Amino acid sequence: MVKATILGAAGGIGQPLSLLLRLNEKIDELSLYDIVNTVGVAADLSHIPTHQVIKGYAPKDKNDSETIKVALKGSDIVIIPAGIPRKPGMTRDDLFKINAGIVKNLVHQAGLSCPDAFICVISNPVNSTVPIAVEELKRLGVFNPRKVFGITTLDNLRLEEFLSSALEGKVSAADLYSDVIAIGGHSGDSIVPLINGWRKNFASDGEEYSKLVKRVQFGGDEVVKAKDGKGSATLSMATAAYRFVNNLLDAITAANSSTVKEVAFVKIDELKTKKVPLFISKHTQYFSLPIVLGKDGIELVEFPEYLSEPEVLMTKHAVEKVKADVTKGFNFVHGSKL
Ligand SMILES: NC(=O)C1=CN([C@@H]2O[C@H](COP(=O)(O)OP(=O)(O)OC[C@H]3O[C@@H](n4cnc5c(N)ncnc54)[C@H](O)[C@@H]3O)[C@@H](O)[C@H]2O)C=CC1
Ligand SMILES: O=C([O-])CC(=O)C(=O)O
C-alpha cells in the first residue's frame, strides 16, 4: 500500500500533478490537501476509474490543525507545491517571505504525522525551502537525509528540450534524458546545465552555447513573462514532478533491489557520495546532483564523469549562490547564524 499526499493540491501545479498521480498504478491512496478547493478537485478526480482511494482535505478554519494530520497520516510520499508563485519582475527569492513559513509549517505537520515519509519540496525558493524542511525535521528529531528532496527536474526537462531544439533535430529530447543534466541550485545562474559531449556541435565563438545556457537558467522567467502576472510554470512543472515521483515510486516499490537514477537538490554532506569534488563538498552542504534511489531512498550521490572548463566555472559560481540561499533557510528556522 502506497499513500501519496500533495500539500497545495488545488493550485496551478497541484491540480495537474494530482491528475497525473491519479493515473499512477503504484499509488493506492492519493490524499489531496490545500487551504481551498481540494474537496472539489478530489471529487472531480474520483470519477476517473482507477484502483486508488482518493480523498480531498481542507481545513475548517484558520485554527484547524487536525485536518492536515488526517490528510498526512500514513503517507509514504509527501509532495509540497504549496505557496505563492512569481509575478513578472520578481526573483524566486522574493517568494521567501511568504513561502518559508508555509513550507516550515507543512513540513512540521509531516514530521509529526508521517515521520518516515519521503518529502519532495517544489515550493520556491527551493535553494532555501529545502534547508528549511531539513532543519524543521531535525528539530523534531525525524530527519533522514535519504528522504528529503528539492525537485529540480524542471531544469532537466528544459535542458533536454532546449538542447534538442538548438541542435535542430540531430538528437531527440527523449534521447537526451539522463545524458545531459542540470546540477547546482534552482534559480538563475545557480542552475548549471551540463551538456556532456554535445558542446562540439556548437560554433566555436560560443554564442549559441551561451544562449542555451541562459535559456535553461532563466527558463522560469520566460514562462512568468508569458503568463503576464497569472503565475509561473505549472504544467511543465507538474510533468517534471511526475517524472521525479514516478521514478521514486519505481525505486521504493521495486520487487527486487533494483535502483533508479534521478537528479535532485539534496543534503549531500550527510549522504554517501562518489567523486563529488572538494570545490563543491567543502563549501556547500546542499547541491542538486545525480542520485541513486533505492527502497530506502538515496543510496548514493554521484558526480558526472565529465565537465568542460566553462561547466566547472559555472559550478563554482553556483556553489557560492547556493551556499548563501541555504544559510538564509537555516537562519529562518533557527533565528541564528550557521
Ligand atoms: N521547483 C520548481 O521547479 C518549481 C517551483 N514552483 C513553485 O511552486 C509553488 C506553487 O506554484 P503554483 O502551483 O503555480 O502556485 P498556485 O498559487 O497556483 O498554487 C499554490 C497552492 O498552494 C496553496 N497553499 C498556500 N498556502 C498553503 C498552505 N499553508 N497549505 C496548503 N496549501 C497552501 C494555495 O491555496 C494554492 O492552491 C510556487 O512557490 C512556485 O514558485 C513553480 C514552478 C517550478
Ligand atoms: O520561475 C519560477 O518562478 C518557477 C520556477 O521555479 C520555474 O519555472 O523554474
Assigned C-alpha cell, 310: 566553462
Give me the residue spans of the domains in the chain. Answer: 3-151, 153-330
Q: Please determine, for residue 65, whether its predicted confidence score (pLDDT) is greater than 70.
A: yes
Is 186 known to be catalytic?
Answer: yes
Q: What pLDDT, in 10s, does the model give residues 69-100?
A: 999 999 999 999 999 999 999 999 999 999 99
Q: Which residues, 6 or more positions from 257, have their beta carbon under 8 angstroms from its beta carbon?
A: 294, 295
How far is Cα 220 from Cα 275, in angstroms, rounded to an integer?
A: 30
- Taking the centre of ligand 1 as the mean of its atom positions, its distance from the CA of residue 148, in whole angstroms, is 18
State residue 162's pLDDT score. Answer: 98
Q: Which residues, 6 or more positions from 139, have their beta carbon under 8 angstroms from its beta carbon?
A: 333
How far is Cα 262 from Cα 242, in angstroms, rounded to an integer?
A: 12
Closest by CA position to 311, among listed 173, 155, 180, 153: 180
Assigned C-alpha cell, 313: 566555472
Asked if 92 and 86 count as a contact pair (C-beta separation under 8 A), the reply is: yes
Q: Which CATH number fits domain 153-330: 3.40.50.11440, 3.90.110.10, 3.40.50.1110, 3.30.365.10?
A: 3.90.110.10
Asked if 301 and 277 count as a contact pair (C-beta separation under 8 A), the reply is: no
Residue in this structure with the C-alpha cell 484547524, named with its chain if needed: 64
Q: What pLDDT, in 10s, does the model give residues 130-150?
A: 999 999 999 999 999 999 999
Q: What pLDDT, in 10s, does the model give residues 5-33?
A: 999 999 999 999 999 999 999 999 999 99
Q: CB under 6 Å to ligand 1: residues?
A: 7-8, 10-14, 33-36, 81-86, 95, 99, 102, 106, 122-124, 126, 151, 154, 186, 231-234, 237
State residue 257's pLDDT score. Answer: 84
Closest by CA position to 72, among listed 128, 30, 23, 130: 30
Asked if 252 and 118 count as a contact pair (C-beta separation under 8 A), the reply is: yes
Look at the pTM and tell me if it is higher than 0.90: yes
When pLDDT is cut at 50, 70 and 90, the band that residue 338 belongs to is: low
Label the pairing between strands 191-194 and 273-274. Answer: unpaired
| Ligand of minimum distance to the alpha carbon of 14 | 1
Interior CA angle at 160 toward 158 and 162, to 5°? Answer: 60
How far is Cα 71 from Cα 55, in angstroms, rounded to an integer?
A: 8
- What string of DSSP letters covers 248-284? HHHHHH-SSS--EEEEEEEEGGGS-EES--HHHHTT-
Q: Closest Cα to atom 3, ligand 2: which residue?
A: 86
Assigned C-alpha cell, 109: 505537520
Q: Closest Cα to atom 1, ligand 2: which residue?
A: 220
Tell me, what amino acid is at 9?
A
Q: Please determine, for residue 337, whether its predicted confidence score (pLDDT) is greater than 90.
A: no
**Helix H segments across 167-197?**
173-176
Domain 3-151: which CATH class? alpha beta
Q: Which residues of 124-156 are buried (b: 16+ CB within 10 A; e: fewer)?
A: bbbbbbbbbbbbbbeeeebbbbbbbbbbbbbbb
State residue 256's pLDDT score. Answer: 87
Cα-based distances in Å from 263 to 186, 240, 266, 290: 12, 11, 9, 4
ipTM of the complex: 0.99
Q: Closest Cα to atom 2, ligand 1: which residue?
A: 122
Q: Please determine, for residue 288, whether its predicted confidence score (pLDDT) is greater than 90.
A: yes
Q: What pLDDT, in 10s, does the model give residues 182-205?
A: 999 999 999 999 999 999 999 989
